[in-house]
């Protein structure tokens, strides 16, 4: 196993990554066309708030196959994603134009996922050398190519990515319907009420702690210094726990999702 494979499987594709999922969705949907595409999507079977277990499974499968799958598996993944995206495009009444096959929009989604991976490494306190970081960046281009993004559209270097990120982030905006959707997501308002009451405040707090202030501002939310410090202590504690877990346990549920996706491919079943 290479240093990169070890980093991906031992750190990025572990259960700890799920803690940052809400924050990553906020980043993705802060680009107005992406936000509207999710809110207005007619692909009901892929809606997180209606089918949270199924959507989580398919997202984990996508991440695991994109980062660890074979070339044939990634080609199958791209076809499955394309099939799901065919019905996602703006209508006459949409406030912004969007199309799920727009590579510029999908590049932003992939960029957010890559940034989310860096956030996970930060939670673990990982400081890979420059060679490993470059290799991770190169592999992360797969997140984009699985979403109909041409290989050449992924910024060539990490410095180019930083320039792209800064330029794109200046264009972000969140309208009121998208803001309400994202706040409901962070507070787990779409799950059964007892569970939302139990976990919603914690999920919102740690999600906001993982978001840069500009993203929080788009939601009209923030954390006080004491609350943010509390959230970061909790995240650090989770990272210490995951460091101690056997690899087979730490990789759950990504390992389950990868096995399920491979079984679906062999049996000719749809990923989604």
On the question of pLDDT at 34 being above 60, the answer is: yes
- In this prediction, residue 56 carries a pLDDT of 92
pLDDT of residue 46: 54
Task: Give the separation between CA 192 and CA 79, rounded to whole angstroms.
Answer: 34
Interatomic CA distance for residues 122 and 229, integer angstroms: 15
Determine the pLDDT at residue 47. Answer: 64
In the predicted structure, residue 49 carries a pLDDT above the cut 80: no
What is the distance between the alpha carbons of residues 133 and 98, in angstroms, rounded to a whole number? 33
CB-CB contact of 182 with 219 (8 Å): yes
45 pLDDT higher than 80: no
Whole-model pTM: value is: 0.95
In what helix (H) or strand (E) does residue 233 lie, and over which residues does it extend?
A: helix 225-244
List the one residue out of 127, 249, 217, 108 whose CA is nearest residue 168. 108
Handedness of CA 84, 15, 192, 184 (dihedral sign): negative
Angle made by CA atoms 248, 253, 254, in degrees to the nearest 5: 85
Does the pLDDT of residue 54 top 90, yes or no?
A: no
Output the pLDDT for position 51: 76
Q: Give 75's pLDDT tier (boundaries 50, 70, 90).
A: very high
In this prediction, residues 99-113 reach a mean pLDDT of 97
Q: Whole-number mean pLDDT of the chain? A: 94
Give the per-residue pLDDT at 28: 98
> pLDDT for 130-157, tens place per residue?
999 999 999 999 999 999 899 999 999 9
| Cβ(119)–Cβ(206) below 8 Å | no
Q: What is the pLDDT of residues 185-224, one digit of tens each?
A: 999 998 899 999 999 999 999 999 999 999 999 999 989 9
Q: Give CA–CA dist 154/26, Å, rounded.
A: 21
């Amino acid at each position: 196993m290479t240093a990169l494979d070890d980093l991906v499987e031992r750190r990025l594709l572990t259960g700890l990554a799920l803690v940052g999922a809400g924050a990553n969705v906020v980043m993705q949907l802060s680009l107005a066309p992406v936000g509207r595409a999710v809110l207005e999507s007619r692909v009901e079977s892929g809606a997180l708030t209606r089918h949270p277990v199924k959507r989580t499974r398919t997202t984990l499968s996508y991440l695991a196959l994109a980062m660890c799958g074979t070339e044939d598996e990634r080609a199958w993944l791209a076809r499955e994603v394309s099939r799901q995206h065919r019905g996602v495009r703006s209508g006459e009444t949409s406030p912004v134009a969007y199309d799920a096959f727009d590579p510029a929009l999908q590049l932003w989604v992939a960029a957010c996922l890559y940034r989310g991976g860096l956030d996970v490494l930060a939670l673990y306190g990982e400081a890979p050398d420059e060679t490993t970081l470059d290799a991770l960046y190169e592999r992360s281009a797969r997140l984009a190519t699985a979403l109909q993004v041409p290989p050449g559209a992924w910024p060539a270097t990490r410095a180019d990515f930083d320039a792209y990120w800064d330029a794109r982030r200046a264009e972000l905006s969140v309208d009121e319907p998208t803001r309400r959707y994202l706040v409901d997501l962070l507070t787990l308002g779409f799950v059964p009420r007892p569970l939302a009451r139990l976990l919603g405040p914690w999920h919102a707090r740690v999600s906001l702690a993982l978001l840069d202030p500009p993203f929080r501002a788009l939601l009209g939310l923030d954390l006080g210094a004491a609350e943010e410090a509390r959230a970061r202590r909790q995240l650090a504690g989770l990272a210490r726990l995951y460091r101690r877990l056997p690899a087979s346990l730490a990789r759950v549920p990504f390992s389950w999702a990868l096995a399920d996706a491979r079984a679906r491919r062999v049996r000719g079943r749809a990923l989604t």
